Amino acid sequence: MSMVWSTTKLKGLECIAPLVQSVEETPEPIATEVCGTIPTWIRGSLLRNGPGKFEFGNQYYNHWFDGMAMLHQFKIEDGKVTYRSRFLQSDAYKKNSERDRIMVSEFGTVAMPDPCKNFFLRFLSRFEMIEATDNASVSFVKYKGDCFVSTETNYMYRVDPESLETQNKVDWTKFIAVNMATAHPHTEPDGTSYNMGNSYGRKGALYNIIKVPPMKNNPEETLEGAKVLCSIVPADKARPSYYHSFAMSENYVVFIEQPIKMDLLKIVTAKLRGKGISEGVYWDPKQDTVFHLVEKHTGQTSSVKFHTKALSVFHQINAYEEDGFLMLDMCCSDNGEAINNYLIQNLRKSGEALDQVYNTMYRAFPRRFVLPLNVTNDTPTGVNLNTRPASSATSFKTAKDKVVCKFEDLHGEDLYEYGGLEFPQINYSKFNTRPYRYFYGCGFRHLVGDSLLKIDLEGKKVKVWYQKGLFPSEPVFVPSPDAVEEDDGVILSVVVTPTEDKSTFLLVLDAKTWEELGRAEVPVNIPYGFHGTFNPTA
């Protein structure tokens, strides 16, 4: 049953075109109307990031990832909520706005040569490399206690979490030898951060594990002291894997080399051919997915490689070590073509055309791999090395330094009804890298999330929040101040609807009971976004 497209073919999907339309910013805080009750112990801001502008003049972006970054803040205090939003003042946004045309290429859209240049200059400009964009539209992240917005290039921006004002542009390449970094770093309890980024040099492509220290030596500092912990050589240097995130346990960073490949030659020549970088990203189901383990404290890469069948992964759930095993939990799909399906024209379809886009896409499901940590030359082949009781995952040593793994599902049959699960979140501050019981996410009975799900790993039971016509964002867990149990706290999610104008709201669920506590209605339109974080009031 694991090889699933959409478990049931769906018909009559609601058009969500309004959720991918450009909106105006709301730079000054506006009040919201609270229905129900928002607990007074919640003090801080839900910060969200995602695309908010999809065209300049008569030029339109092609891919959902291309839209200009819009930052949102829902500030919660004494049971009341205010809302504000601002466009990130990136160089891309400013150049595009100044000329009212797309001047900077994005993932799926190439900036065409400026018609004001003479023919010879236009011709030459096609031979330039596509410059990396600084449109940091994916997530809010923290390094050394400061707030940054990030995408998947070498650029980030430090932003003021109170005013959402853009502060300074930060370039990873000025600090360490990487050409990009993911928008999903992991953070230790002491504030030390880990990330991953590729480098492209004379030796071809390398995957690099990055470590950023927890503290600043002066207020102006950003990534000073960052270092490359280790580098991993791709299976094919001309076609490294695309990755959106990575996993981290107490002692290991786990890099997942998946068969979503980047054809570097196609990417380098994209501008010449008038194509976006996305044209060079493709799915190769003939390749295995390989897990690489890196010891965090020494930077040593394990010689043992863990193989599984072709899978695509955007987001990890958690990873932890116990009894000589590393449990690796993530949302996986059996097909990696989704990244190329999220074209804005697909998201704006309606009727049968929309149903067809959805029904040809594979859903993502939460799965666990169990990796044995003590594999040596003496470890026998042909024996399932996963001896954990009640775990159906398998790990077989098949050759020296090679272990072949099969996952176990972290869900029951009922999750197929909800379209699988993505945008996973946990009680991160207390349970990341540790044994845990609960995770949260969005159900996907549409191209964007249409329900909020809570999964209890004891019994793999699911709780669901769903209201027809409403589309909730990634659920962010906020622990209550006197929390005893893992799910003592609330879930925050921004809910949008395509059918009513200016009817967005911040939803607050009791994380334990999954009952709605309250909602804060805000009279604005917000496009469906990507990731967010809760920033507590100091």
Which residues define the annotated binding site for Fe cation? 184, 244, 315, 531
> Could you tell me if 472 and 449 are in contact, meaning their C-beta atoms sit under 8 angstroms apart?
yes
Q: How many CB atoms lie within 10 A of CB 122?
A: 14
Both tokens assigned to 146? 């400061």
CA distance readout (Å), 436 to 65, 390, 528: 32, 16, 29
In sequence order, the β-bridge partners of residue 312 are 333
* Measured distance CA(82)–CA(164) in Å, rounded: 13
Whose CA is closest to 419, among 445, 380, 395, 457?
A: 445
Cα end-to-end distance, the chain, whole Å: 48
Whose CA is closest to 181, among 237, 222, 145?
A: 222
Residue whose structure tokens are 């994916």: 138
* Measured distance CA(316)–CA(327) in Å, rounded: 11
Looking at 124-267, which runs of residues are DSSP E strands? 139-143, 146-150, 155-159, 166-171, 186-187, 193-201, 204-212, 227-232, 247-248, 252-257, 260-262
Amino acid at 340: N
Residue positions in the annotated binding site? 184, 244, 315, 531
Whose CA is closest to 78, among 531, 523, 524, 518?
A: 518
- Residue 456, helix vs strand vs coil: strand
- Residue 352, helix vs strand vs coil: helix
* Measured distance CA(20)–CA(135) in Å, rounded: 17
> Could you tell me if 134 and 525 are in contact, meaning their C-beta atoms sit under 8 angstroms apart?
no
* Measured distance CA(304)–CA(324) in Å, rounded: 15
Whose CA is closest to 185, among 206, 159, 211?
A: 211
Whose CA is closest to 133, among 93, 193, 86?
A: 93
Whose CA is closest to 411, among 8, 124, 1?
A: 1
Whose CA is closest to 218, among 269, 135, 144, 165?
A: 144
Residue 469, C-beta contacts closer than 8 angstroms, at least 6 positions apart: 14, 497, 498, 499
Mark residue 402 as left, alpha or beta (left: phi above 0; alpha: psi -120 to 50; beta: remaining). Answer: beta
**Measured torsion, CA atoms of residues 517, 521, 526, 529, in degrees rounded to the nearest 10:** -10
